[in-house]
Structure 1
Amino acid sequence: MKTLSILPYCIIALFIALQGHAENQLVTYPAPKGAALNDDFTVRARIPGGEWQEVSPYLIKVDEVKDTKHHVEEASMASFDMSGTVEVSVTYNRGKIETAKVRPLSYQITPRIEENKIIFTLDQPRNLSVEVNNDIFHNLHLFANPVETEKPDPKDKDVIYFGPGIHQLKENKLEIPSGKTVYVAGGAVLMGQLLVENVRDVRIMGRGIIDHTVKMGIHLANARNIYVEGLYTTQCATGGCDSVTIRNLKSISYYGWGDGMNVFASNNVLYDGVFCRNSDDCTTVYATRKGFKGGCKNITMQNSTLWADVAHPIFIGLHSETEDFEVIENLKYINIDILDHKEKQVDYQGCLAINAGDNNLIRKVRFENIRIENFRQGQLVNLRIFYNKKYCTAPGMGIEDVLFKDISYTGENAEISIIAGYNEERKVKNIRFQNLRINGQLIYDEMPGKPAWYKTSDMCRFFIGEHVEDVTFTK
């Protein structure tokens, strides 16, 4: 009788255990023969209690600026797919581990150090930087992707399929026709650009790599209804497009003008879960530029990680068609970690930067739930209407209706942020800071300890200049 009474509970427990085991998945992709690898790290992963699997560490390059000079450094990149819980082991092959970090810090991943190994557990897909002894230029970029739920049939006539191996593209590029799906499998390396130009209804998917030597690895131009997901590349620009979704794409560049994910004169663009580490601006929104004409509207970046080795993590405005008074509007940046910002030139500083030029009007911009780590050099916020004669033919028309909500900065390197208009006709208006925290301190108009004769902006080291109206700081 006792055995019968506990049998149902044993069956339930077994079902739960099997279900949990089924949810834990790990997929690795061996690097193809001849691929450029980096032996700074040995990377392994496993389902808890299972066998360790090797994860190939590729060679990539990043840009270090020292004393205004650019130096190309060799870093590492590895990736796998996962669901449930996965353990990761990273062996450091360059010497002794004194300290180790796994960033973004907001993920609260505390690695365990065992001699020359770093061990930690992931309970969901993440895009990470693993850093030993505070070395951010020879680090491991570790991309734990979600397990693929959709793989196209290689035999489908509308599928261009690249299996594992190194693929040299004819004339160093592939021009993708309308209606096609390009699938780059894990373990595949493309030597050449994926070009989506004057077409529609194109998908680019997979877990493969566009080699780090290929500038502008993915280029979207005058296209409509485009979906890009899962690959590693150097850059991905979107110009003259409508209805674009870019999801879980990784962009790392090291050369001059190495912007990560530009938007030029495009509408209805969504970035979701992307990772950018770039040798120029990580992500920009411009109006007329590079032969693409018109304003921009409905641009969203969410659930993403940005790292600017040079220039801005987020930059809006600057370029436009002076005679057309173009508008950039309805922009959202939500749930973002900013890992670094390094820019000595004051004109090009700002983690969250809006600079209006060329008679453009920038309005209805929302920055929300953004965590900014201790960057090396620059400003937290830069909102200016200016006449930058190097790039513009006129000052901007205005910046209006900008919300900064739930923004935090932890660090000591931020220089004075700037908010400034141009003249009485070209103003910055209606700027709201809600729950702004600097090193844990909440900045708001009635904050305790603020002398009555201080501006609230003095408490966070923001300079609010002339031709600026209605700047508020609230809880």
Structure 2
Amino acid sequence: MHSPAGADDGLVVYPPVPGLAASGHYKVRIRPVRPGGEWQTAFAWETACKAVDKKTDAYFDTLAGWTHAYVNFETSGAVEVEIARTDGAPIRSAAVHPKRKASACEVRDGRAFVLLDQPCLVAVDIDGQMDAQDTGKGYKGPPIHTISLFANPPLAGKPKPTDPGVLAVKPGEVPPSDGPWTTLYFLPGVHDVGLAFPLRANRQYYIPGDAMVYGTFSNTKWGDGHHIRIFGLGTLSGARLKHPEYVEPPVPEKDHGRYRPIELIGTTDTRVEGITIADSATHSLMLVSPFKAGHPNEVRWTKIFTWRANGDGINPFGNTLIEDCFIRTQDDSLYVNGLGIRRTVLWNDANGSSFVLSALPQLTDRQLVVEDCDVIYSRAKWHHWSGGRVFNMRGEGGRAAGAGVVFRNINVEDPRPTLQQFFICMTMPKPYSKNGEKRAAGDLSGILFQNISIAAPSVLGEPQILWGQPDARIGNLTFENLTLAGKPVIAPEFFKSNEFVGGLNFAPRAVSKP
């Protein structure tokens, strides 16, 4: 096998994946920003929303034919990235999101050039496909072809195929689920592990940046999958699997978890690092475990793309820390629970919320901080319904919640969000629900929203909503430095609310960080 290029100067660019077609829409070159830094061609992956009958396999019909190209590379310093169309057509405009992550973005000679000073995960909007048009409810335009640049920090502990304890798996081989090895290494090329490939405790699973693995990973019983590391800059794809609701003969609901790209039940001390999860058949990443002090699970520098109903992002449950991820989903992106969420980029197109609040904890011994996150697109194909939005409590869950929860430095950057950003509803009001869904008893209280910047209101004119119920009131929420379109929000009238909401506290500038 040949090694990734450029490792001697801190830039690692992976070669093409043998047997896998590159993006049909974009091609990419990268160079280190230093005297004499040479351009290197990077392999541009592509994930696509399949154009299938909308009654089969749960792909969103409104996104049929849409694609997302992405490039994964490692860097320890500044890089310049060149993006060109594969058909040679000139690029007219380009914009990086999150905006603050790039020090420069310009178009020269029909190509986009992006300067990244340090590792980060960004999207580049080409010719205003997202920024200049409403792609949510009512969109009837052509398929949209987007691209992301994933500048990862150097990946620690990368094995070699010949290292002791490493079992190198060739494309086409069926990897063993057990044996006298500690690391399973998927060699460059295309692999298929099938449905619910079993992971073992105290093992590593390495997918390098020139390997594609189709299938799903899981463990067999509660607690038997711990101290696991799934890592690398390759891709784990569900594109060859059907949505579990469309499998024949029917799959029992208890077995739907086998179709999730990664589901480990009762896991602790497990890490998922660097990989891309593409075209999930259902929920993408579930490390199921209650809080266990000193034994956290961690998800870092992981990227997720989904195109189907139930294509959720990450549910951290009670014991997972999420940092530096990029999540584009067609159902919910993140469930707010676990050990914290930091520096994550979120993007919704059709059916999901950025932050689902139904599982919010009530903490007395620690804080749960969601901070430095960017919602770059918040679109929805629907209007009067319960999903979508950025902060969403849609009449689900129960018990008291909110104490110890902090949302800090959240940047909602979308210039054309379909729906409102706040939809914190203990009871679902009309016209958003016909069945009157309601949360079980328990008040929502004590959340701090600090430094929340919203670029634009709903393009459909939807109001911001806080909506309580007699046995599930909303109160003691603090908003420090909340802005909409650059203007400070300093009064409760910003929200549409009912008599079961009160005790809202506002400050134009954040006084301190807890």
- TM-score (norm: length of structure 2): 0.75
The C-alpha deviation readout for 1:331-375, integer Å capped at 9, x for no partner, is 321000001112323422421223453433222221100100124
Alpha-carbon contact 1:435-1:474 (below 8 Å) kept: yes
The C-alpha deviation readout for 1:348-406, integer Å capped at 9, x for no partner, is 24212234534332222211001001243011112221267979686342211111100
Q: Give the distance between the partners of 1:376 and 1:217, measured in 2 at CA.
A: 29
Deviating more after overlay: 220-229 vs 102-111? 102-111
Offset at 1:241?
5.0
Q: Give the distance between the partners of 1:222 and 1:389, measured in 2 at CA.
A: 37
Alpha-carbon contact 1:306-1:338 (below 8 Å) kept: yes
Alpha-carbon contact 2:216-2:261 (below 8 Å) kept: yes
Offset at 1:217?
1.8
Counterpart position of 2:409: 369
Offset at 1:142?
1.4
Tell me how large the CA RMSD over aligned residues is: 2.8
Q: Give the distance between the partners of 2:7 and 2:195, measured in 1 at CA.
A: 42
Q: Percent identity?
A: 23
Counterpart position of 2:109: 115
Counterpart position of 2:343: 303
Residue of structure 2 aligned with 1:236, choices 260, 285, 293:
285
Q: Give the distance between the partners of 1:472 and 1:376, measured in 2 at CA.
A: 26
The C-alpha deviation readout for 1:275-327, integer Å capped at 9, x for no partner, is 10001111124xxxxxxxxxxx6431101100011320111117xxxxxxx95
Counterpart position of 1:14: none
Counterpart position of 2:168: none
Alpha-carbon contact 1:418-1:465 (below 8 Å) kept: no
Cα pair distance change 1:467/1:127, threshold 3 Å: same
Alpha-carbon contact 2:68-2:146 (below 8 Å) kept: yes
Counterpart position of 2:16: 31
Q: Which amino acid aligns with 2:318?
A: N
Residue 406 (1) aligns with residue 451 (2): yes
Alpha-carbon contact 2:439-2:472 (below 8 Å) kept: no
Cα pair distance change 1:29/1:426, threshold 3 Å: same
Counterpart position of 1:142: 149
The C-alpha deviation readout for 1:126-155, integer Å capped at 9, x for no partner, is 111112111243011211111123224543
Q: Which amino acid aligns with 2:272?
A: V
Q: Give the distance between the partners of 1:468 and 1:377, measured in 2 at CA.
A: 25
Residue of structure 2 aligned with 1:342, choices 379, 386, 391:
379
Residue of structure 1 aligned with 2:25, choices 15, 40, 45:
40
Counterpart position of 1:420: 467
Q: Within 5 Å, which residues of 2 pair with 1:11-160?
A: 24-48=9-33, 49-62=36-49, 69-94=62-87, 95-136=89-130, 137-152=144-159, 154-156=163-165, 157-160=181-184
Q: Give the distance between the partners of 2:22 and 2:341, measured in 1 at CA.
A: 31
Q: What is the number of residues matched between the two proteins? A: 420
Offset at 1:230?
0.5
Counterpart position of 2:301: 248
Counterpart position of 1:274: 325
Q: Which amino acid aligns with 2:127?
A: N
Structure 2 SS opposite 1:353: strand
Q: Give the distance between the partners of 1:114 and 1:141, measured in 2 at CA.
A: 19
Q: Give the distance between the partners of 1:69 and 1:91, measured in 2 at CA.
A: 26
Cα pair distance change 1:62/1:409, threshold 3 Å: farther
Q: Within 5 Å, which residues of 2 pair with 1:350-365?
A: 350-364=389-403, 365=405
Counterpart position of 1:379: 420
Offset at 1:220?
2.3
Alpha-carbon contact 2:103-2:117 (below 8 Å) kept: no
Q: Which amino acid aligns with 2:149?
A: L
Counterpart position of 2:312: 259
Cα pair distance change 1:134/1:109, threshold 3 Å: farther
Residue of structure 1 aligned with 2:481, choices 422, 425, 435:
435
Query: Which has more radius of gyration?
Result: 1
Alpha-carbon contact 1:224-1:241 (below 8 Å) kept: no
Q: Give the distance between the partners of 1:135 and 1:212, measured in 2 at CA.
A: 26
Residue 181 (1) aligns with residue 181 (2): no
Residue 165 (1) aligns with residue 192 (2): no
Q: Structure 1: 5+ residue runs without aligned partners?
A: 1-20, 286-296, 319-325, 445-455
Q: Give the distance between the partners of 1:463 and 1:349, measured in 2 at CA.
A: 17
Q: Give the distance between the partners of 1:356 and 1:74, measured in 2 at CA.
A: 33
Structure 1 SS opposite 2:91: coil
Q: Give the distance between the partners of 2:227 and 2:434, measured in 1 at CA.
A: 39
Cα pair distance change 1:178/1:241, threshold 3 Å: farther
Residue of structure 2 aligned with 1:466, choices 499, 502, 511:
499
Q: Which amino acid aligns with 1:411?
A: A
Structure 2 SS opposite 1:404: strand
Q: Give the distance between the partners of 2:477 and 2:499, measured in 1 at CA.
A: 14
Q: Which amino acid aligns with 1:457?
A: P
Q: Give the distance between the partners of 2:308 and 2:385, measured in 1 at CA.
A: 21
Offset at 1:435?
0.6
Structure 2 SS opposite 1:378: coil
Q: Give the distance between the partners of 1:203 and 1:165, measured in 2 at CA.
A: 21
Structure 1 SS opposite 2:401: strand
Counterpart position of 1:457: 492
Offset at 1:163?
2.2
The C-alpha deviation readout for 1:185-241, integer Å capped at 9, x for no partner, is 120110111224532111111111112516632222221221110000032123345
Cα pair distance change 1:395/1:71, threshold 3 Å: farther
Offset at 1:121?
1.7
Counterpart position of 2:264: 220
Cα pair distance change 1:241/1:57, threshold 3 Å: farther
Q: Structure 2: 5+ residue runs without aligned partners?
A: 1-5, 55-59, 131-143, 166-180, 241-258, 279-283, 509-514
